[in-house]
Amino acid sequence: MSNAFKRWFERYFSDPQVVILSVILLLGFAVIMFMGQMLTPVIAGIIIAYLLDSIIKKLDRFHIPRLWLVIPVYTVFLALFLYALFGLLPLLSQQITQLVQELPNMLKRGEALLLKLPESYPEYFTSAQIDKLIVLIRNQIADFGQYILSISFSNVGNIITIIVYLILMPLLVFFFLKDKHKILAWARNYYPRDIELTRRVWADVDRQIGNYVRGKMLEVLIVWVACYITFAIMGLNYAMLLAALVGLSVIIPYIGAVVVTIPVALIAFYQWGWTADFAYLMIAYTVIQTIDGTIIVPLLFSEVVNLHPIAIIVAVLVFGGMWGFWGVFFAIPLATLVQAVLTAWPRARDEIITVEHSE
């Protein structure tokens, strides 16, 4: 057993560059796992600065001093950030409050429809079954309400922390953008000399993750705006809230679109019932989802490495379980990182190629 492990270790870790790459990955993983909560504004600032820096790189061809490129890009970001904080979030909060207040009436109407099932389909449903189902639904809604209240009360003590984070994060973004070259020059003083493998992996990951995250954020925005315009024109209640849910649902491949359809259909049915308006809205919603899947996604992610659906689902489950919402959001980029590391691993790759040729 020890000899087998020794041969395996020598085969995959005999190259110093592989050891350096492994140490860097382990250190990054450890920092996020054990210090991620404390460094939340720093990590968020790095991610946002990384995304905004791609715009600055495109403008850099005009040979303008970096500070004069940073200022307009950062100003646009800050304007959008303030709008989201003081315009969008209050509107979403208001619609969530209205929806919660309307839930009892929606529940009563749903119960009335369920009670009609034994009369309409006595061969399939009995009154006892419907009564049990109604009790189950009431209990689930009560548990959900208590869960929401517990979250609200538990977050009261974190308000000061959230405010501090909201102030620090934009400042960090500015300094990361402004002093990018100084920060990288300082970090190079601590780099090992031979990091060619790490550079190669980072170049691949930088291209893949950058394209994916920028494309995904643009996809969220397009779907969000398209749904909001459609819902608002058709007069659907809670248009902004539902549009936000649909937009954010594209973050979770395959699962998100199916899950978010339920609240859209339920609220539309409660508002209109089995009418032409309900049918028109669901048709428009289906058209938006179809355009997103067949046109927007291939257009935005043409340069992103295609991962097998099983790999995507596993990545969503693993990283989502580890880091919650942000783990779900970055599940595919992180899976791409794993794929890039495995592809660039010298010993493993050479061995696979040798086996393939021998076969």
Query: Which residues have a Cβ under 8 Å from the Cβ of 127 and sit 6 or more positions away?
Result: 118
pLDDT at 311 over 60: yes
**Distance between CA atoms of 264 and 241, rounded to whole angstroms?**
10
Residues 331-347: pLDDT tens digits?
A: 777 777 777 777 666 54
Task: State how far the Cα of 300 lies from the Cα of 287, in Å rounded to an integer.
Answer: 18
DSSP character for 27?
Answer: H
Banded model confidence at residue 147, pLDDT cuts 50, 70, 90: low
Q: pLDDT tens-digit profile of 226-247? A: 999 999 999 999 999 999 999 9
On average, the pLDDT of the chain sits at 78
**Which of these, 163, 210, 257, lies nearest to 47 by C-alpha position?**
210
- Report the percent of the chain where pLDDT is more than 70: 79
pLDDT score at 357: 46
What pLDDT does residue 5 have?
62
Q: What pTM does this model have?
A: 0.74
Query: What type of residue sits at position 277?
Result: D
Q: Among positive and negative, which fits the CA dihedral 320, 326, 331, 336?
A: negative
Helix 346-358 with 331-344: angle, nearest 10 deg: 70
Residues 6+ apart with CB under 8 A from 248: 220, 224, 256
